[in-house]
Amino acid sequence: MRKLRLALPSMNGFFTFEAAARCGNFARAADELNVTPAAVSRMIGRLEDHLGSALFHRLSGGVTLTDDGRILYEAISRGFSGIEQALREIDDRKTGHETITLSVSTGFTTHWIMPRMAEFKREFPTVELRFQLITSALVGPVDDVDLGMRFVSGSDDRHEATFVMPEILLPICSPGYDRQRKEVDQADASAATLINLSEAQPDWSHLFFPNEPGGGLNSMIFSDYAIVVQAALLGQGVALGWLNVVVHWLRQQALVPASPNIMLTGRLCHFVRSLDKPRRPIVAAVRDWMINHLHQDLAQVAALYPELGLAEALRKAGAAV
């Protein structure tokens, strides 16, 4: 350890390097560290001089790691993650609570986790959940969280992925809106309102109006999927339902399928954790609890709406419930 200490420059250099590597840009790293971009550049230069090796490729739009930089970044990330975990465990020992940070969508948090919080607290009275909320596409690193819900193919050399369910889409609406639309002349497709997410999503209008191009329909557009689902709950129209988000409301029959058709996209939903983070049994327990309760919801929805063929679709995808 003494030899390592003598070989190391200032720890500030490593904090600066880690921020620059993670941000991919000296200016963004400077904002995070509350210093100037010039100060970041000088600190990185000193570190490179000390090591005798270039750590970044300087590009017009930012920086990328060299091979040596990547080796150092992976080691520093593991080290900082371990230190952060140790500090959190020390704090948890003082308070008697354990903190778990989830990276999930606002939709999943609002419409699946929140309705279950009382049940969760009964099962895990010493666990404090924190959230890194995503309002758009469910992507991004999970290095700074304990678990992230992501659509990935499976584990890789940096991540452990636990399968949850296939991505399944279906049109949804409130029971009141469903009754209302059945009273409207079905030839008048313009009488229906589609509730859309602003970013690109699969063409789904044919699931509800097979003979009408989606562009001819009334629509409401939101940038946050949690609001899309809320609008459907309030009877404002028909929305595209991501089953992992809306399954609770389908089970409660606060939402109903607007069509017997479902769409399997081929993508797979997983809970993902970084292998750089130490294993914590409580994280695995919370993950398994969420998966088990999601599967219970799916089984109930499959029984309520057999016309969807949901049980068979899940079985074929390896998520029999």
The most confident of the ranges 6-20, 34-48, 175-189, 307-321 is 34-48
Residues carrying CATH 3.40.190.290, the chain: 97-321
Paired tokens of 145: 């969280």
Paired tokens of 12: 């500030």
For 2-89, CATH gives 1.10.10.10
The three-class DSSP label of residue 198 is coil
First to last CA, the chain: 52
- pLDDT in the model for residue 2: 53
pLDDT digits (tens, 9 = 90+) for 159-218: 999 999 999 999 999 999 999 887 665 545 456 788 988 865 656 776 666 665 545 468
- Residue whose pair of structure tokens reads 């689902």 in the numeric block: 229
Q: How many CB atoms lie within 10 A of CB 171?
A: 24
- Of all residues in the chain, what percent carry a pLDDT higher than 70? 88
pLDDT digits (tens, 9 = 90+) for 244-294: 999 999 999 999 999 898 999 999 999 999 988 888 899 999 999 999 999
Q: How many CB atoms lie within 10 A of CB 307?
A: 11
- pLDDT in the model for residue 9: 66
Higher-confidence position of 6 and 280 = 280
The three-class DSSP label of residue 301 is helix
- The confidence band for 243, taking pLDDT boundaries of 50, 70 and 90, is very high
Considering the four listed CATH numbers 3.40.50.300, 3.30.420.280, 2.60.420.10, 3.40.190.290, the one that applies to the domain covering 97-321 is: 3.40.190.290
pTM of the complete model: 0.72
- The confidence band for 298, taking pLDDT boundaries of 50, 70 and 90, is very high
- pLDDT in the model for residue 306: 96
